[in-house]
Amino acid sequence: MIPPAPDDLMEYTYNTLIYRWLDNFATNIEVIRKGLNLTDISKRKNEPCLLIAAGPSLDRYHHLDIIKKARWKHPILCCDKKLVSSLKHGIIPYAVASVDGSPLIAEFYKTHLVKKYTSQINGVFSVTVHPSVVKNWKGKTYWFTSMLDLPSLEGTTKINNRSVTFILHVLSNYKGIASGIGNVGSFLWNLAFILECDPIILVGYDFSEQVKDKADAVYFKSLTAMHLRKITKERAPTQAEVVAAMDKVANMHQVEKNPDFNTSYLVNPIWKRYREMLASHIVASKKNTINATGNGCLHTMAIKAPNFKAMPLAECLKKYA
């Protein structure tokens, strides 16, 4: 059973960000309508594909150095946050993706190094990315409509023409609908699936953290604010109420073991929800997926499926070279 906190936070996130997403879309609409459709991107059928996400293990285990040394010749899909780091290692991805609507994402595309290699990389953007991302990225762009809700009537294949996703799909000049699966790293898996790659190799997919103090965890402040929101609607919380909320959130953060790599990580129900969302896609697809992250909650005891395995990165790159 999914804990209520991540669902509650995701609902809160949607209600907060939908205004920004729609404003981004409205600003970008002319570019989007004239742009390329993700459905038309060149497939890399049955090629192994390496996905680079932004988890702490990527730097902790020097995985970019390992990839550079391996001279991987097959497609690499990179999240926006790690594009510059990858390029600094001489790793030129087949595609870079952005899903988030925040203007902060534009910073990942500003450098001279990105501009130098733009012509060799496919940009894959959600129709709700911030206009500053569009402004900074000068390369080829394939657009997709993020699945913000179900575009079909529940339990059927019949179009739900009241769906926000369907409306954006039509307004975007029918840019293909794809699930962002909650974050850009998970979307990269979906992109590899669309490219028909096999196997799909994951690095930087921690879905967890490496912090000494739980108060420094990514979602700690958001979850604390959520626990206090009924009080803050009426008045300022007392110090005792704040401490009680923080204690509840601290209890939601647990240290666990990764049995595949014999490592430890700090996790909470939100990270586990991201794992469940990606896992459901992996299992349903039957697409061979190999986790070479080296740590984190995305492990074989959590995803028990014949098409999901774990393997050290260097070994994996050698096997599928």
The pTM for the full model equals: 0.92
* Residue pLDDT tens, the chain, 321 long: 334 455 666 677 788 889 999 999 999 999 999 999 999 999 999 999 999 999 999 999 999 999 999 999 999 999 999 999 999 999 999 999 999 999 999 999 999 999 999 999 999 999 999 999 999 999 999 999 999 998 988 878 899 999 999 999 999 999 999 999 989 999 999 999 999 999 999 999 999 999 989 999 999 998 899 889 889 989 999 999 999 999 999 999 999 999 999 999 999 999 999 999 999 999 999 999 999 999 999 999 999 999 999 999 999 999 999
Q: How many Å apart are CA 203 and CA 89, to the nearest integer?
A: 15
Compute CA distances 40 → 8, 130, 141, 143, whole Å: 36, 23, 11, 10
Contact predicate 142/124, CB 8 Å: yes
pLDDT at 5: 52
For 229, the token pair is 């929101």
Task: Give the chain's largest Cα–Cα span.
Answer: 60
Residue type, 231: I
Could you give the angle at the alpha carbon of 246 between the alpha carbons of 219 and 59, nearest 5°?
35
